[in-house]
Structure 1
Amino acid sequence: MIQLLFLVLFAEGIVALLLLVKIGPLRELVIKSLDQLKMGKGPATVKTIAGTMSVILLSSLMSIIKIQNKGAKLGTMSPMDQVLWRTHLLEASLMGFTLFLGFIIDRMHHYLQKLVGLRSNMGASKEELERLRKEKTQLKEKEEKASKELKLLQEEISKLSESLKKVKLESEEKNRKVETAEAHVAALQKQAADLLLEYDRLLEDNQNLQNQALGYKG
């Protein structure tokens, strides 16, 4: 029994050491082995073994207490009782350390699994952060490109506005010239009408003079 407990304690110590110290792929191998152990009927088997060892531990403790009480009543312990007391004490100590180390291994495995999950999430978060940074860079580049295009459009609009003003000025100048020409034409037309009236009057006067001259001759 004691040799078996020493063997179990030694094996648990190696497992705990491999969980604490990363030696090549051994930690991952131990974690996978513990994962498989916790699947299926593994947890029930481990609980059964732990329960049995706890019962044996309590039995050893009770035996130690009985031997101590017996020695206290007699005032001394016989050599046989001393051997039994030491044997039960060693067994209880080994079983206690075995159970405690098993509990430590279980907690270490649990927290290592959480750590692996956190690292995976952290890796995913880093990838997401990198993707967001790339998107931010792309958006910034698009924003700069849009800003340049906007400046070009503003310059084009400014040029078109200047051209439009120039065309308006030219149009106004042409309109003024047209109005001036129309006024000049109107003045010429009026002058021509006046000349026609004067010409008609002169013709009439000439006709009257001719008529008067013919009257004198007659």
Structure 2
Amino acid sequence: MIYLLFKIVFTEMALILTLLFRNPLRKFVIMGLDRLKRGRGPLVAKSVGATVLVVLCSAVYSAMEIQRRAREGGAINPTEEVLMANLLLQASLMGFSLFLAVMMDRLHSYIKRKQILEEVINPNKQHNQ
């Protein structure tokens, strides 16, 4: 699962960098995000986001339980240390992916608003975005 989370985070980072800077791929990314936001796309995105949030809360709760047992018992055995590190890595990657998804959504909406405003202000001028 960690490899999947790393792939998601790096893919979202690449899409955000594509949206931030003007390049040939930006237009295609914007068109792809436009298509994803039609129909059932928002419902699917919200349900996946909610599922990831529940799994994130579960990982944080499990890490807190291990930490609580360590405080009560005095020491952590090596198995619990490995589990704690794994849970913290999973939780941080899930949190990063949720944050990057929100950032990507906001960037897309700001770019679309900017394009609409530019078309209203200068209807005869063509834009290369």
Q: TM exceeds 0.5?
A: yes
Q: Match of 1:18, as an amino acid?
A: T
| Larger Rg over CA atoms | 1
Q: Match of 1:74, as an amino acid?
A: G
Aligned twin of 1:70? 69
- Could you report, residue by residue, the CA deviation over 1:30-81 in whole angstroms, capped at 9, with x for unpaired residues? 0110000000111111111100000000000000100000111111111010
Aligned twin of 1:80? 79
Aligned twin of 2:14? 14
Aligned twin of 1:40? 39
CA distance in 2, matches of 1:86, 1:49: 25
Aligned twin of 1:51? 50
Aligned twin of 1:3? 3
Could you say what secondary structure the match of 1:39 adopts? coil
- Could you report, residue by residue, the CA deviation over 1:135-176 in whole angstroms, capped at 9, with x for unpaired residues? xxxxxxxxxxxxxxxxxxxxxxxxxxxxxxxxxxxxxxxxxx
CA distance in 2, matches of 1:116, 1:56: 37
Q: Match of 1:10, as an amino acid?
A: F
Q: Match of 1:72, as an amino acid?
A: R
* Structure showing greater relative contact order (alpha-carbon pairs closer than 8 Å, 6 or more residues apart): 2
Could you say what secondary structure the match of 2:122 adopts? helix
> TM-score when scaled to structure 2?
0.94
CA distance in 1, matches of 2:75, 2:106: 43
**Which residues of 2 match residues 117-132 of structure 1 at below 5 A?**
117-124=116-123
Offset, 1:16: 0.2
Aligned twin of 2:60? 61
Q: Match of 2:3, as an amino acid?
A: Q
More helix by share: 1
Question: Does 1:23 pair with 2:53?
Answer: no
Aligned twin of 2:106? 107
Q: Match of 1:29, as an amino acid?
A: F
Aligned-residue sequence identity (percent) comes to: 39
- Could you report, residue by residue, the CA deviation over 1:169-189 in whole angstroms, capped at 9, with x for unpaired residues? xxxxxxxxxxxxxxxxxxxxx
Q: Match of 1:63, as an amino acid?
A: S
CA distance in 2, matches of 1:115, 1:53: 31
> What's the Cα RMSD here?
1.1
Offset, 1:23: 1.2
